[in-house]
Amino acid sequence: MNKTCPTCPFLAINKGKPTPTDFKCVEHNETDWYSQENIDGIWYVMRKDPISFLSCHTTDPDYYGKDEKNISACVGAALCVYMHIKIFEKVGPVYTDYIKAVGNDVAMYKNVMGEKALAIVIGKTSPLWGGMSLPNSLKLDLDVMRWPSGFEKTVALFKKIIK
């Protein structure tokens, strides 16, 4: 998968929409899938947990009952990770320089950075997290995406790096 799915919470056009009613997972039907709080919560876990990657819910059998062998990571969440890895490559190798560049409130934890970078390089998540396929291209139109709170510096730095 190389682009975000139509129900991705990271797509700006989905802001304010109701949670998709065809999700099988009841817990998400009771929350606002497209809320800023949900996006912030996703990033909170992704930046602190070395093995977590959010699944793309259109490929996740817990949501749509599809074949588990075709499960993919969420492109929007993977792009958030990718931006941070690229910024670290540019401003590093000192971790505190990366913290200064993006801000402590959104920075990935030091022990998380390596595991996530390795997953992106090999194109799969850790077997501990299901070995989900990661997108083989993260060259997306950044202007159609929504970001976790505090990501303004991250997006601005990333745009400078990829020019």
Most confidently modeled range among 1-10, 18-27, 122-131, 135-144: 1-10
Give yes or no for a contact between 76 and 4, defined as CB atoms under 8 angstroms apart.
Answer: yes
**Measured distance CA(83)–CA(87) in Å, rounded:** 6
**Please, which pLDDT band fits residue 107 given cuts at 50, 70 and 90?**
very high
Handedness of CA 89, 90, 96, 99 (dihedral sign): negative
Q: Give the pLDDT band of residue 11 (cuts 50, 70, 90).
A: confident
Residue whose structure tokens are 């009613």: 21
More confident residue, 129 or 133: 133
What confidence category does residue 145 fall into, taking pLDDT thresholds of 50, 70 and 90? confident
**Cβ(80)–Cβ(116) under 8 Å?**
no
Checking if the pLDDT of 119 tops 90, the result is no
